[in-house]
């Protein structure tokens, strides 16, 4: 299993874009049996970072397990990833078939 904070993942993707090693990074992460991306959404992604994230999710779709943790409510994913189509594709790739509600996404969180 590979684990990474959302900010660490974004930094690695950004560095890979600068040195043109993005394909190698995606290939390496695509082969990990279980990929855990923790705290997704704390940083704003640039379009090229969103595209790389989408490529990674596409490579892993129906092949490997991906776990993403975030405090973002589902509608805020649009702001984070930048495109409605990308949110839908990433949701499908992660096995989310319907947007979670605040009460089901984190039952311990108080309402209000």
Q: With respect to residue 15, please indicate whether it lies within any of the assigned structural domains.
A: yes
- Indicate the burial class of 22 (C-beta count within 10 angstroms; 0-12, 13-18, 19 or more): buried
CA dist., res. 44 & res. 31, Å (int): 26
Over range 3-15, report the average pLDDT: 65
Q: What percent of the chain has pLDDT over 90?
A: 1
pTM beyond 0.75: the answer is: no
Q: With respect to residue 48, please indicate whether it lies within any of the assigned structural domains.
A: yes
Q: With respect to residue 29, please indicate whether it lies within any of the assigned structural domains.
A: yes
Over range 98-110, report the average pLDDT: 47
- Mean pLDDT across the chain: 74
Number of compact structural domains in the chain: 1
Least confident of 9-13, 38-42, 73-77: 9-13
Give the residue from 87, 83, 77, 70 showing the smallest Cα distance to 6.
Answer: 70
Q: Could you tell me which residue, 86 or 6, shows the higher pLDDT?
A: 86
Tokens coding 72: 């973002």
């Amino acid at each position: 299993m590979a684990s990474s904070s959302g900010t660490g993942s974004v930094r690695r993707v950004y560095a890979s874009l600068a040195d043109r090693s993005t394909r190698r990074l995606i290939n390496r992460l695509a082969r990990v049996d279980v990929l855990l991306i923790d705290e997704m959404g704390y940083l704003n992604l640039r379009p090229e970072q969103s595209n790389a994230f989408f490529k990674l999710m596409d490579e892993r779709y129906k092949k490997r397990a991906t776990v993403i943790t975030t405090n973002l409510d589902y509608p805020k994913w649009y702001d984070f990833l930048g495109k409605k189509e990308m949110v839908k594709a990433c949701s499908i790739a992660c096995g989310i078939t319907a947007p979670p509600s605040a009460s089901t996404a984190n039952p311990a969180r108080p309402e209000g």
